Chains A and B, each alone.
Chain A
Amino acid sequence: DTGVSQDPRHKITKRGQNVTFRCDPISEHNRLYWYRQTLGQGPEFLTYFQNEAQLEKSRLLSDRFSAERPKGSFSTLEIQRTEQGDSAMYLCASSLALVTVGGETQYFGPGTRLLVL
């Protein structure tokens, strides 16, 4: 399977615990994105990497959230001191950046569904 993979697919945790999610992008893709999706809504951008550099973070990404992409391959998203409001689907996507605006297609993984009790 050469698509985007995410692990775990489901995570249940208690409020206050830390959780970490992993995303493995399509191998030749240089950009990696994290989105969050709540029920009945479209995905919301959190952050993205070009190779190993984190180039943009959304205001949605509080200081409890941190993302890394060491060596420009897989990425991890960590949430510290989880809150019930963090319950959502966390989606990862990857793409091959092009020069022209709007010319890249993001391919999404299956997502990690987080439930904070």
Chain B
Amino acid sequence: SQELEQSPQSLIVQEGKNLTINCTSSKTLYGLYWYKQKYGEGLIFLMMLQKGGEEKSHEKITAKLDEKKQQSSLHITASQPSHAGIYLCGAPSGSSNTGKLIFGQGTTLQVKP
């Protein structure tokens, strides 16, 4: 079965610093989703990547999917306290169109003012 591994598991950065979170799949990805979650709340959709080499940006967050479609990275530039939370990568399970997602274990980000 497919697994997603996120690194690091947790991260503490000073406000203004850049950071990167990685998501590695055990199998080829047929799409990769990034979500953000505040503790005790639901997931907020950030970005979706589908094609190898694809890169998307929204405000200060950039996500990339590598050419081989087995790894994605999420990069935050000039971090702010509002970026704090749990970042989760999710991917469709296999190539069928069921839509169900498997998720990594999450990366907890703290931003120190």
Contacts and interface: CB of A to CB of B under 8 A. Distances in A.
Interface of A: 4, 6, 31, 33, 40-45, 48, 55-56, 89, 91, 93, 95, 97, 99-111, 113
A107 to B, nearest CB: 6
Given A102-B30, A107-B45, A45 B97 contact: no
B92 interface: yes
A99 B97 contact: yes
SS class of chain B's interface: helix, strand, loop or mixed?
A: loop
Contacts, number: 80
A48 B106 contact: no
A102 B88 contact: no
Contacts of B101: 33, 43, 45, 106
Given A40-B106, A42-B104, A42-B105, A105 B45 contact: yes
B97 A108 contact: no
A113 B17 CA distance: 34
A102 B104 CA distance: 17
Interface residues of B, number: 31
Contact of A48 (B29, B42, B90, B98): B98
A108 B42 contact: yes
Interface string B87-113: 010111101111111111110000000
Contacts of B105: 40-42
Contacts of A103: 31, 50
B43 interface: yes
Contact of B43 (A48, A97, A108): A108
